[in-house]
């Protein structure tokens, strides 16, 4: 079961895509000037599968995520065309109420910088449960606290009752990212999104965080959309790959196929740039000199 | 915390001592013989000598200063020329009026500006934000005494809704007390509200653009939950610091407002004492105001530490 | 929802001439124009042009604004326009003293404290603490009533209170600038302390102090107004904006021009000063 080519979504069966993106184009408007940051992107992601979006910084990966969540930076005039359906709800056109419900119930996101993505003035145990606390029904403080403790235990905190009372700056980088994972998986969402979840972490911690993400996925059966500039991580963890460059999809397909038989020179350049112990000594930077890439 | 607080406390005591010393020299600001100026040319030499003695002007600076400080510590702040009553008693009697005025004005200001600033941050440069920004910029240019005069004109003279002057103690008639305090509190509050709005708006915009706000939005929080339950707190330190300064210098502000609305508070006491050149009262009020500034500074620091606990728990 | 200064993209070459920039530019021209006009009128008024601000004219009591009396006349028939202009001169003097004395001395002390550090810095810090703990309006009122009111005394003492504000900020700014590369290079090259101060530090500190200078000037004008409003400023017949507003207050419902025009003068002036301050703030970013 591959994500490509895209299949027409029909009855809500298990093979129906959790995330279905069609001809998604996002333009940023600034005073009489418009710039496309995501151009004509289409893909499907079905239950249990994992898909990596790979590209250099500035390739439009973060804007792609913002577009399919419908959450844009304040003050940025971003206009989205096409559709991005999560569990059948088009996030680009849904009203705020419906969009937030999907965000709370069906999507969990793990952010790039675990320190900056946590509010410095609230205890981690409090922030962890935001997707429940800020929902339509207001659970009691006590039940939220209990849920936070459970979630922290599930991501490997030894003494969650004490650690839930800590502030973000009192945790280590790896601990913070585990809080991020616990917050993302709190409502057992069908879709997990990782936005460079390991980039800000030490190499030794990176693997443990990725393992934890895999473990949580196994537990809940969530699909994973992993956005990364690190092709090695993407190749190791994901079933399918999308290579993005300057807002557009350059190449897409199952990981193995893409790695063994890349069709586009840019993909080839990215693959060659992966440092290998057994490979040739010379390392090529991904300077896209060949091919017509626009 | 104690280790950080002790030098600050010593410094505060030092500041208070210097100010106490300065207030002991107030009499020498007068051109010529203070006793002659205060008593007038018809006074006798004996009267003037007696006044000099009561003010300690016949002694050197240190005996006078130590004498006064000693008195302050045991609650004897001198005796008012005008009323013949103890200065500390006069101050404490007027204090509740000023405290109520300041509290009410700050509550009104906060109730007004927090929704405005957060609403502004919700859609930066949107219509609401632009209106708020322009309005606060204009409001910033209106001195509080002009605000007071205009409020009296509109609400007391023109519409006749509220009384312009007079005071009724809260304990006697709570509702009438509030009715009479509304305009003074608004006058004092509006002057600060513009400054507060700009401070909170700036901080809230920065917070709304932060990564942690993005994370909260992605967790499906409504704008209201995001702004009130996740943005307000990290945005409020500069506002709290300003609030501290306002409360600290409230005596200055109350001078104008109490005079304008004829409220029998500390400001009125000060204006009266200044007009009558009642030196012991002036000295007492200045020293009291300095204590308020120092104490307000310490309370502000504690409040800031409670808002952002990183400062007490150390940074990683 | 267009957000010019918020967008992630770098502003293009056309950015500076957008509609809002043009609006801001108009604001600066208007503000500077108003202040210039006010200065000229105030100077002309003290030089003797226009009506005598103290001359009573019982033929023209409480006259509403007309061509003969632009802002009307008060209960003694005195010309409010002329009194407002003389009031502007009083405010202007206070503003000038704040810039020269408060700004000049304060910034110099602050820069020195930031460069020399040690005991000087500690002393400046302590004096700042003392000054901030002093109830300034009360002290100013006390000094003016006890020492006798004159516009020079008022201006001097108001501006004296601003010295520590400037010193504190200039010290902080100097500390951050003193570690910047060009200063370090000058130090390494053996530039004299004076040269570093005048060539490297002051040119960097002054632009950053301009917004605060404007805010403080506005504050000083308000303080003078408040003082006169309370009756601790200039002696009654002498015109000052605060005193004019206080005097006209009783007749607000019958002769609103008595209060309205001086109030407008002070508000527009402070608004203009603030517009310039905002401009400097944007420029120093």
Q: What is the DSSP string of B241-273?
A: HHHHHHHHTHHHHHHHHHHHHT--SHHHHHHHH
State whether B211 and A130 contact (CB < 8 Å).
Answer: no
Query: What is the predicted pLDDT for the residue at B4?
Result: 66
Phi/psi of residue A29, nearest 5 degrees: -105, 130
| Parallel/antiparallel/unpaired status of strands A191-195 and A223-228 | parallel
Split at pLDDT 50, 70, 90, the class of C131 is confident
Residue C237: inside a domain, yes or no?
yes
Pick the residue of B134, B274, B300 with the most C CBs within 10 A to test the interface with C by mutation. B274
Query: What is the predicted pLDDT for the residue at A10?
Result: 43
The mean pLDDT value for C146-168 works out to: 87
Q: What is the pTM of this model?
A: 0.86
Predicted confidence (pLDDT) per residue in A128-179, tens digit: 999 999 988 888 999 999 999 999 999 999 999 999 999 999 999 999 999 9
Asked whether residue B265 carries a pLDDT value surpassing 90, the answer given is yes
| Alpha helices, H only, C98-235 | 106-116, 118-133, 136-147, 151-178, 181-188, 193-195, 202-230
CA–CA distances in Å: residue B64 to residues B27, B56, B58, C193: 12, 5, 9, 44
Query: What is the predicted pLDDT for the residue at C20?
Result: 55
Query: What is the predicted pLDDT for the residue at A42?
Result: 95
The verdict on B313 touching A (C-beta cutoff 8 Å) is: yes
Please state which of the ranges A62-76, C185-199, C256-270 shows the lowest mean pLDDT. C185-199
Q: Which is higher by pLDDT, C9 or B189?
A: B189
Split at pLDDT 50, 70, 90, the class of A270 is confident
Residue C222: inside a domain, yes or no?
yes
Asked whether residue A204 carries a pLDDT value surpassing 90, the answer given is no
Task: Provide the token pair at C65.
Answer: 């604004």
Helix (H, G, I), strand (E, B) or coil at C253: coil
The verdict on A105 touching B (C-beta cutoff 8 Å) is: yes
State whether B270 and C141 contact (CB < 8 Å).
Answer: yes
Query: What is the predicted pLDDT for the residue at C252?
Result: 78
| Nearest in space to C154 (alpha carbons), one of C82, C226, C248, C53 | C226
Query: What is the predicted pLDDT for the residue at B132?
Result: 95
Asked whether residue B316 carries a pLDDT value surpassing 60, the answer given is no
- The mean pLDDT of chain C is 80
State whether C253 and B249 contact (CB < 8 Å).
Answer: no
Residue C2: inside a domain, yes or no?
no
Query: What is the predicted pLDDT for the residue at A101?
Result: 95
Residues from chain A contacting residue B305 (CB–CB below 8 Å): none
In which order are the strands placed within the sheet that holds A77-86? A33-46, A17-30, A77-86, A89-90
The CA-to-CA distance between both ends of chain A, in Å, stands at 30
Residue-number span of the structural domain to which C137 is assigned = 28-45+70-283
**Which range is most confident: B109-113, B189-193, C242-246?**
B109-113
The verdict on C13 touching B (C-beta cutoff 8 Å) is: no
The verdict on C10 touching A (C-beta cutoff 8 Å) is: no
State whether B15 and C130 contact (CB < 8 Å).
Answer: yes
- Among the partner-chain residues C2, C14, C18, the one whose CB lies closest to the CB of A77 is C2
Split at pLDDT 50, 70, 90, the class of A2 is very low
Size of interface B-C (CB pairs under 8 A): 132
The verdict on C243 touching B (C-beta cutoff 8 Å) is: no
Task: Provide the token pair at C269.
Answer: 């002036």
Q: Which is higher by pLDDT, C20 or C41?
A: C41
Pick the residue of C133, C150, C152, C226 with the most B CBs within 10 A to test the interface with B by mutation. C133
The mean pLDDT value for A108-121 works out to: 94
Predicted confidence (pLDDT) per residue in B246-255, tens digit: 888 888 888 8
The mean pLDDT value for A54-83 works out to: 91
Query: What is the predicted pLDDT for the residue at A289?
Result: 43
The verdict on B127 touching A (C-beta cutoff 8 Å) is: no
Asked whether residue A290 carries a pLDDT value surpassing 50, the answer given is no
Q: Which is higher by pLDDT, B93 or B164?
A: B93
Residues from chain A contacting residue B308 (CB–CB below 8 Å): 120-121
Split at pLDDT 50, 70, 90, the class of A4 is very low
Asked whether residue C45 carries a pLDDT value surpassing 70, the answer given is yes
Query: What is the predicted pLDDT for the residue at A1?
Result: 41
| Parallel/antiparallel/unpaired status of strands A248-254 and A240-245 | antiparallel
Split at pLDDT 50, 70, 90, the class of B93 is very high
What number of CA atoms fall less than 13 Å from residue A177's CA on the CB side?
24
CB under 8 Å, gap of 24 or more: what pairs does C242-246 form?
A: C242/B145, C242/C266, C243/C87, C244/C80, C244/C83, C244/C84, C244/C87, C245/B145, C245/B146, C245/B149, C246/B145
The mean pLDDT value for A196-211 works out to: 89
| Nearest in space to B138 (alpha carbons), one of A275, A109, C267 | C267
Asked whether residue A271 carries a pLDDT value surpassing 50, the answer given is yes
The mean pLDDT value for A8-29 works out to: 77
| Nearest in space to B40 (alpha carbons), one of B67, B32, B282 | B32
Asked whether residue B35 carries a pLDDT value surpassing 50, the answer given is yes
Residue A216 and residue A228: Cα distance in Å, rounded? 19
Q: How far is A290 from chain B (nearest CA, A)?
A: 37
Task: Provide the token pair at A293.
Answer: 């890439």
Asked whether residue B239 carries a pLDDT value surpassing 70, the answer given is yes
Structural domains in chain A, CATH included, are 17-272 (3.40.50.300)
Asked whether residue A286 carries a pLDDT value surpassing 60, the answer given is no
Residue C73 and residue C80: Cα distance in Å, rounded? 5
- Contact indicator for B246, B252 with CB cutoff of 8 Å: no
State whether A30 and C18 contact (CB < 8 Å).
Answer: no
Residue C57 burial (C-beta neighbours within 10 Å; 0-12, 13-18, 19+): middle
Q: How many structural domains comprise chain C?
A: 1
Please state which of the ranges A256-270, B38-52, C215-229 shows the lowest mean pLDDT. B38-52
Split at pLDDT 50, 70, 90, the class of A203 is confident
Q: Residue C162: which residues within 8 A CB-CB, separation 6 or more?
A: C98, C102, C103, C106, C216, C219, C220
Nearest CA in chain A to C15: A31
Residue B221 and residue B219: Cα distance in Å, rounded? 6
Q: Which is higher by pLDDT, B122 or B309?
A: B122
Split at pLDDT 50, 70, 90, the class of C3 is very low
The mean pLDDT value for B138-147 works out to: 92
CA–CA distances in Å: residue C240 to residues B97, B150, C81, C87: 30, 19, 12, 4
Residue C256: inside a domain, yes or no?
yes
Residue C153: inside a domain, yes or no?
yes
Strands (E), A175-287: 191-195, 223-228, 240-245, 248-254
Q: Which is higher by pLDDT, C21 or B127?
A: B127
Structural domains in chain B, CATH included, are 2-73 (no CATH), 93-263 (1.10.3720.10)
Q: How far is C12 from chain A (nearest CA, A)?
A: 9
- B138-165 in b/e burial notation, b at 16+ Cβ within 10 A? ebbbbbbbbbbbbbbbebbeeeeebbbe
Domain harbouring C237, CATH code: 1.10.3720.10
Q: How far is A39 from chain C (nearest CA, A)?
A: 18
Q: Which is higher by pLDDT, A182 or C116?
A: A182
The verdict on C12 touching A (C-beta cutoff 8 Å) is: yes
Residue C218: inside a domain, yes or no?
yes
State whether B15 and C129 contact (CB < 8 Å).
Answer: yes
- Among the partner-chain residues C4, C9, C14, the one whose CB lies closest to the CB of A28 is C9
Phi/psi of residue A54, nearest 5 degrees: -115, 145
Size of interface A-C (CB pairs under 8 A): 31
State whether C2 and A29 contact (CB < 8 Å).
Answer: yes
Residue C246: inside a domain, yes or no?
yes
Asked whether residue B86 carries a pLDDT value surpassing 90, the answer given is yes
Residue A71 and residue A80: Cα distance in Å, rounded? 11
State whether B219 and A131 contact (CB < 8 Å).
Answer: yes
Tell me the sheet residues that pair with A110: A194
- Among the partner-chain residues C3, C6, C12, the one whose CB lies closest to the CB of A33 is C12
Measured in residues, chain C has a length of 285
Split at pLDDT 50, 70, 90, the class of A43 is very high
Strands (E), B25-178: none
| Alpha helices, H only, B123-173 | 127-139, 144-151
Query: What is the predicted pLDDT for the residue at C97?
Result: 92
Scanning C233-252 for CB atoms below 8 A from A yields none
Percentage of chain C beyond pLDDT 90 is: 18
The verdict on B259 touching C (C-beta cutoff 8 Å) is: yes
Helix (H, G, I), strand (E, B) or coil at A95: coil
CA–CA distances in Å: residue A118 to residues A191, B214, B227, B230, B238: 21, 10, 15, 10, 21
- The mean pLDDT of chain A is 87
Residue A293 and residue A39: Cα distance in Å, rounded? 13
State whether C135 and B293 contact (CB < 8 Å).
Answer: yes
The mean pLDDT value for C24-32 works out to: 87
């Amino acid at each position: 079961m591959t994500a490509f080519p895209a299949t027409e979504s029909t009855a809500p069966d298990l093979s129906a895509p959790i995330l279905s993106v069609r001809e998604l184009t996002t333009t940023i408007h600034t005073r009489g000037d418009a710039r496309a940051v995501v151009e004509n992107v289409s893909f499907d992601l079905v239950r249990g599968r994992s898909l990596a979006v790979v590209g250099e910084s500035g390739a439009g990966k973060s804007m792609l995520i913002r577009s399919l969540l419908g959450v844009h930076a304040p003050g940025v005039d971003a206009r989205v065309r096409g559709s991005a359906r999560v569990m059948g709800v088009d996030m680009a056109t849904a009203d705020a109420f419906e969009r937030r419900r999907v965000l709370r119930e069906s999507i969990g996101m793990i952010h790039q910088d675990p320190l900056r993505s946590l509010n410095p003035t609230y205890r981690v145990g409090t922030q962890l449960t935001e997707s429940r606390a800020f929902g339509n029904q207001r659970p009691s403080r006590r039940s939220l606290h209990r849920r936070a403790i459970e979630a922290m235990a599930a991501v490997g905190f030894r003494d969650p009752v004490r650690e839930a009372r800590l502030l973000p700056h009192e945790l280590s980088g790896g601990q913070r990212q585990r809080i991020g994972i616990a917050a993302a998986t709190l409502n057992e969402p069908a879709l997990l999104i990782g936005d460079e979840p390991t980039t800000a972490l030490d190499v030794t911690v990176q693997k443990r965080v990725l393992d934890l993400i895999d473990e949580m996925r196994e537990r809940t059966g969530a699909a994973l959309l992993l956005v990364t500039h690190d092709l090695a991580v993407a190749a190791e963890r994901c079933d399918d790959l999308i290579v993005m460059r300057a807002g557009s999809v350059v190449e897409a397909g199952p990981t193995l196929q893409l790695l063994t038989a890349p069709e586009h020179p840019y993909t080839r350049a990215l693959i060659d740039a992966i440092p290998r112990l057994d490979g040739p000594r010379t390392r090529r930077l991904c300077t896209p000199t060949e091919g017509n890439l626009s | 915390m104690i280790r950080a607080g002790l030098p600050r406390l010593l410094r505060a005591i030092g500041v208070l001592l210097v100010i106490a010393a300065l207030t002991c020299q107030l009499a020498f600001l007068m051109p010529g013989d203070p006793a002659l100026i205060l008593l007038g040319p018809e006074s006798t030499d004996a009267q003037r000598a007696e006044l000099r003695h009561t003010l300690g002007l016949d002694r050197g600076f240190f005996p006078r200063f130590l004498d006064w400080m000693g008195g302050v510590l045991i609650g004897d702040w001198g005796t008012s020329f005008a009323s013949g009553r103890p200065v500390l008693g006069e101050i404490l009697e007027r204090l509740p009026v000023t405290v109520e005025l300041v509290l009410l004005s700050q509550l009104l200001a906060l109730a007004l500006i927090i929704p405005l600033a957060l609403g502004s941050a919700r859609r930066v440069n949107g219509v609401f934000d632009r209106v708020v920004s322009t309005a606060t910029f204009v409001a910033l240019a209106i001195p509080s005494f002009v605000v007071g005069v205009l409020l009296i004109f509109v609400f007391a003279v023109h519409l006749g809704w509220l009384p312009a002057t007079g005071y009724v103690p809260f304990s006697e008639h709570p509702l009438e007390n509030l009715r009479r305090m509304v305009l003074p509190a608004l006058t004092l509050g509006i002057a600060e509200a513009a400054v507060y709005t700009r401070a909170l708006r700036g901080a809230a915009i920065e917070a709304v653009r932060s990564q942690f706000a993005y994370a909260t939005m992605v967790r499906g929080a409504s704008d209201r939950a995001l702004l009130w339950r996740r943005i307000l707190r990290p945005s409020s330190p500069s506002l709290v610091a300003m609030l501290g300064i306002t409360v600290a210098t409230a005596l200055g502000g109350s001078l104008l407002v109490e005079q304008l609305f004829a409220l029998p508070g500390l400001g009125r006491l000060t204006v009266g004492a200044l007009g009558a050149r009642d030196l012991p009262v002036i000295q007492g009020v200045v020293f009291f105001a300095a204590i308020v500034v120092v104490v307000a500074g310490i309370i502000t620091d504690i409040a800031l530490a409670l808002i952002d606990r990183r400062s007490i728990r150390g940074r990683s | 929802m267009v957000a010019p200064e918020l967008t992630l993209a770098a502003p293009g070459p056309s950015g500076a001439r957008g509609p809002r920039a043009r609006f801001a530019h108009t604001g600066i021209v208007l503000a500077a124009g108003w202040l210039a006009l006010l200065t000229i009128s105030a100077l002309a008024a003290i030089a003797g042009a226009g009506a005598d601000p103290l001359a009573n004219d019982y033929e023209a009591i409480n006259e509403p604004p007309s061509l003969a009396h632009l802002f009307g006349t008060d209960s003694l028939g005195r010309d409010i326009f002329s009194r407002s202009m003389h009031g502007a001169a009083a405010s202007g003097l206070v503003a000038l003293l704040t810039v020269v004395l408060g700004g000049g001395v304060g910034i110099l002390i602050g820069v020195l404290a930031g460069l020399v550090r040690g005991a000087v810095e500690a002393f400046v810090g302590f004096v700042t603490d003392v000054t901030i703990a002093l109830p300034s309006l009360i002290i100013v009122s006390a000094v003016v009533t006890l020492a006798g009111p004159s516009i020079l005394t008022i201006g001097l003492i108001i501006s004296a209170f601003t010295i520590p504000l400037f010193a504190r900020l200039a010290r902080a700014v100097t500390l951050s600038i003193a570690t910047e590369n060009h200063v370090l290079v000058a130090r390494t090259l053996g530039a004299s302390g004076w040269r570093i101060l005048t060539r490297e530090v002051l040119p960097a500190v002054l632009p950053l102090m301009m917004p605060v200078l404007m805010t403080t000037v506005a504050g000083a004008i308000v303080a003078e107004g408040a003082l006169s409003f309370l009756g601790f400023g200039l002696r009654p017949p002498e015109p000052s904006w605060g005193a004019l507003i206080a005097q006209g207050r009783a007749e607000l419902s019958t002769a609103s021009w008595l209060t309205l025009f001086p109030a407008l003068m002070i508000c527009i002036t402070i608004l203009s000063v603030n517009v310039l301050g905002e401009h400097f703030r944007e420029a120093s970013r």
